[in-house]
């Protein structure tokens, strides 16, 4: 019976990593769209350096997609999923800094859930 309880616990932790990862990925993509919106507004009013925001937004969008991929792998391959989540958390934090305040901690929590739910 204890073995069954351990399996259920691992499954619930991995499922939590999956759900939290999907939510974090959607927040990451939303943050990238907000950065893209601000970059577009800066470009319209001819703000200096507004062109550089587009590259940051594309990078953040890519890390959001990578994060969703990591969330999808949380049940089958938790180590790979945790690695993808950590890489995307660091990447989105570097690319859009303050706009990643919601997404990056969720990425890291989901990565920890996937990694520690592997046994």
Q: What is the pLDDT along the chain (119 residues), one digit of tens a residue?
A: 445 445 556 777 788 888 888 888 888 888 888 888 888 888 888 878 777 888 888 888 888 888 888 888 888 888 888 898 889 888 888 888 887 788 888 888 888 888 887 66
- pLDDT of 119: 61
55 part of a folded domain: yes
8 part of a folded domain: no
11 part of a folded domain: no
Q: How many domains does the chain have?
A: 1
- pLDDT of 3: 53
- Classified as helix, coil or strand, 117 is coil
Concatenating the DSSP letter of every residue in 84-111 gives HHHHHHHHHHHHHGGGGTTHHHHHHHHH
7 part of a folded domain: no
5 part of a folded domain: no
3 part of a folded domain: no
Task: Quote the CA–CA distance of 38 and 113 in Å, as a whole number.
Answer: 33
31 part of a folded domain: yes
For residue 99, give its domain range. 24-116
66 part of a folded domain: yes
């Amino acid at each position: 019976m204890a073995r069954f309880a351990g399996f259920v616990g691992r499954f619930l932790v991995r499922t939590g990593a999956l759900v939290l990862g999907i939510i974090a990925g959607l927040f990451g993509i939303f943050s990238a769209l907000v950065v893209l919106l601000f970059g577009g507004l800066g470009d319209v009013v001819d703000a200096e350096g507004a062109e550089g925001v587009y590259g940051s937004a594309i990078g953040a969008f890519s890390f959001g997609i990578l994060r969703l991929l990591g969330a999808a792998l949380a049940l089958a391959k938790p180590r790979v999923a945790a690695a993808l989540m950590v890489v995307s958390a660091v990447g989105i934090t570097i690319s859009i800094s303050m706009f990643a305040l919601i997404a990056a901690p969720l990425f890291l929590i989901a990565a920890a859930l996937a990694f520690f739910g592997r046994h």
